[in-house]
Amino acid sequence: MNTGDGLGICARAGIPLEDMEFWQFHPTGVAGAGVLITEGVRGEGGILLNANGERFMERYAPTVKDLASRDVVSRAMAMEIYEGRGCGKNKDHVLLKIDHIGAEKIMEKLPGIREISIQFAGIDPIKDPIPVVPTTHYMMGGIPTNYHGEVIVPKGDEYESVVKGLYAAGECACASVHGANRLGTNSLLDLVVFGKAAGDSMIDFIRAQEGWKALPENAGQLTAQRLDRLDNQTDGENVDELRRDLQRSVQLHAGVFRTDEILSKGVKEIMEIAERVKRTEIKDKSKVWNTARIEALELDNLIEVAKATLVSAEARKESRGAHASDDHPERDDENWMKHTLYHSLSNTLSYKPVHTKPLTVDYIEPAKRVY
C-alpha cells in the first residue's frame, strides 16, 4: 500500500478512484521520523503541550480533551503550529508529556513507546516529553468496490456497474465502510470482512464461468510501452528527486490544514510534477533485481494517488470527516453528501450518491460531531 500500486494500476486502466480527498492523519508521529506513538499513551494519561506549556486540547475539545478523535487532535496540533505555538527551534511540533504517569507505569504499559522515543527522538519519556507531529495514517478512499469486494464503475445511468473479474479489498479499496473518517481498529476488521467477501465472490464468479474469453491481442501493449519508454529515455528526470518533490508538495498542500488557495496551488504543482514523471530516466538498465526500475514504476503509482488526492480535495468546498477546509468549515450535506470519483485519464471528477439505506438495520441520520 505504501506506493499505491493497486490504485495506480486501476487509474491507468480507466477506473476512477473514489473519495481520495479523505486521508486520516494520526496525531502523534515522532517529529522528523513519522514513527507512530500509539493513542494508548494518551489513554494512559499522556497530554499534549504547546510551546507555552499549555494543554491546548482543553480549548479544542473541552470535555474529552486529548482523547478527542484523531482528526480533531491532528487539526488542533496543526493550528497550534500554524499560529506560532509550535515547539523546537523550527516551531514545527508539539510535545507529548507522560512523565507524570510515573516510570513504573510507563515501563509496565508503554515499554515499546519508550523504546521508540529513545531510538527515534533521542528522548526518554520517563524524564522528558516526546516531540510529536501529525502523520499520514490511513486512506479512506481507494478503488471503488461494493460490499462483495467487486470493483464498480459508473456506466451510463448506472453508478455501480461491476467490472467482471476485478476485485479489491483492504486499504487500497473503497467499499466506503469508513465514510470520510475511519474510527480506530476498523481497518483490520475491514480487511477480514471484505477480504472474505471478495474471496467468496471470486469463487462464485469462477464457478459460474462456462469458458474464458480470449485476451485482446494488444493486452500487454501498455505495459510493454511503459517499460520501453523507461529503457530508452535519455536526458530525463531523476526518480529520487522527483519523488522528494512529490512528497514535499503533497505534504504542504494536502495535509491537515487546507484552504482553497493551498489546494489550488497544490493541484497546479502536482500536475507539473506529473508531466515530469512521464520523463523519468534510470541509469541502470539491467533486467534482473533492478530496484531503480521498480522505484521508477512505483513513482508512476504515487503520482496517480497524489493527483487524485489533490484534485478531489480542491473541488470539495466543505469540511467533512478528514477533509477539513479552513475556508469552508461546515459540513454541507445538501451539496456535498456524495462520493467523489477522480478519472485520471481525463483528469476529471464525477460524483455518485451515498447509500442511505442499510440492508438490515435502521437508517441513522447524520448528526453534527461535537465534543
Ligand X SMILES: Cc1cc2nc3c(=O)[nH]c(=O)nc-3n(C[C@H](O)[C@H](O)[C@H](O)COP(=O)(O)OP(=O)(O)OC[C@H]3O[C@@H](n4cnc5c(N)ncnc54)[C@H](O)[C@@H]3O)c2cc1C
The CA distance from 280 to 273, in Å, is 11
Cβ of residue 5: shortest distance to ligand X, in angstroms? Answer: 4
Greatest alpha-carbon span in the chain: 71
Candidates 50, 117, 187, 280: give the one binding ligand X (CB under 6 A): 187
Cα–Cα distance measured from residue 329 to residue 195, given in angstroms and rounded to the nearest whole number = 36
Q: Which stretch binds ligand X (CB under 6 A): 145-153, 169-177, 203-211, 314-322?
A: 169-177
5 binds ligand X (CB under 6 A): yes
Residues 99-158 that bind ligand X (CB under 6 A): 137-138
Query: What single DSSP character describes residue 21?
Result: T
CA–CA distance, 334 with 313 (Å, rounded to integer): 18
How far is 138 from 253, CA to CA, in rounded Å? 17
* Cβ-proximal residue to ligand X, closest one: 170
Q: What percent helix, strand, coil does the chain show, rounded to 5?
A: 40, 20, 40
Which region among 185-193, 216-224, 271-279, 283-291 touches ligand X (by CB under 6 A)? 185-193
343 with 16: CB under 8 angstroms? yes
* Under rule CB under 6 A, residue 185 binds ligand X: yes
Q: How many residues bind ligand X (CB under 6 A)?
A: 13
- Measured over the CA atoms of residue 245, residue 248, residue 250 and residue 252, the dihedral's sign is negative
Residues contacting 124, CB < 8 A, separation 6+:
114, 117, 118
Q: Taking CB under 6 A as the criterion, which residues in 306-345 touch ligand X?
A: none
Least Å distance between CB 330 and ligand X? 29
Catalytic residue among 12, 42, 55, 70: 70
**Closer of 31 and 311 to ligand X (Cβ):** 31
Stretch that binds ligand X, among 115-123, 167-175, 315-323, 336-344 (CB under 6 A): 167-175
Between CA 101 and CA 118 the distance in angstroms is: 18
**Nearest to residue 125, comparing CAs of 91, 102, 142?**
102
CA 252 to chain centre: 14
> Smallest distance from the beta carbon of 102 to ligand X, in angstroms?
25
Of 243 and 331, the one with the shorter C-beta distance to ligand X is 243
Can you tell me which of 18, 66, 80, 171 binds ligand X, judged by CB under 6 A?
171
Is 55 a residue of the active site? no
DSSP one-letter code for 148: T
- Beta carbon nearer to ligand X, 167 or 336: 167
Closer residue to ligand X in complex, CB, 25/336: 25
Residues engaged in binding ligand X (CB under 6 A): 1, 5, 36, 137-138, 170-172, 185-188, 191
- Catalytic residue set: 70
